[in-house]
Amino acid sequence: MRFANPQLLWLLALLPLIVVGLALRAEWRRRVTARLGHEPRIRELSARVSPGRRLAKSNLLVGGVGLLILALARPQAGERSTLAPSIGIDIVVCLDFSKSMLARDAYPSRIERAKAELGRLIDELRGDRLGLVAFAGETLAYPLTTDYAAAKMFWRDMTPLDMPVGGTAIGKALTAATRLLEAVRAKGPPRSQVIILLTDGEDHESEPLEAAREAGKRGVRVYAVGIGSRSGEPIPELNKDGTVAGYMQREGGGYVTTRLDEKTLQGIADATKGKLILMEARRFGVEPVLAELRKLKRSEAQTRLIKQYDDVYPWFLFPAFLLLLVEACLRETRGLGARPARRKEVSA
């Protein structure tokens, strides 16, 4: 059994509070009754109240609320897996994990802001196949999938310090992304295929324009998303705990700075009939990228695996209703016949 709304199960923590509240209420009643000070009246009130009924009402209330919370969490059973039509496009996101992405001209850093915005972008996808490429001097790839939750785990905790080879090889990233798209091209009807390249654009060791032209020949569009300032930003050096230990320095003195290479990114976009989208610190968001993706033609493919479950919350909701109904109708006091007879005063 599973729950469609497991976040609501924390409400079960209210049950002990209800029990404590009922116990405090009973103690309060006892003290109020004791303050009356009229012993015959106290005996009369006590005789009419049934401790068994009061305890039963408490148990009914706690049980009913507990079952109601379980029903709200939507328990489900009977898992079935089916292939459903997936209407969308093929997307590979290439994210720059070079050390220049540690620069803090975007809060809290270029790389952390980029991952946060890409997480928002992935949450907006519907039926699109998604692949990922993390790159610095080399690439790490995640094949296309419709399991977005698994894809987001790919680089959730990754940092530039985790990359096996330093540097920035945009050309290798575009080549790896193009290969991922080619691998799924023959599976199903033709679909629009795009690469979302998120980087500061600085590349000193590969041929990004040549790789972009090869992608363009295969009908792949590249949306180059540039992050960073044009003026230059120092690159921090981090301790093992992620705190800044200082800034990278040149051998001859002075700090190493990183700046947005808009010209290279524009050339990559132009070579594939894509578009350059600048993500500066003051206007950073995925909305411009999503707007471009919505313009592309989508096609259907039988590639999305859907798990279906049967809702069984009525098994909990109906008993909860009955318990709460009985609790509301059950009286704590006995009938009038249970009242003790008053003793007659004998006159002298």
- Percent of residues, the chain, with pLDDT higher than 70: 84
Average pLDDT value for residue range 141-159: 89
Is the model's pLDDT at 343 over the cut of 80?
A: no
* Structure confidence at residue 136 (pLDDT): 92
Is the model's pLDDT at 341 over the cut of 50?
A: no
pLDDT band at 257 (very low <50, low <70, confident <90, very high): confident
* Structure confidence at residue 38 (pLDDT): 61
Average pLDDT value for residue range 132-140: 94
DSSP assignments along 204-226, one per residue: SSS-HHHHHHHHHHTTEEEEEEE
* Structure confidence at residue 347 (pLDDT): 42
Q: Has domain 86-304 been given CATH number 3.40.50.410?
A: yes
* Structure confidence at residue 44 (pLDDT): 64
Q: Where are the CATH 3.40.50.410 domain residues in the chain?
A: 86-304
Contacts 24+ apart (CB under 8 A), 312-315: 312/1, 312/75, 312/76, 312/77, 313/70, 313/71, 313/72, 313/73, 313/74, 313/75, 314/71, 315/75
Q: What is the pTM of this model?
A: 0.62
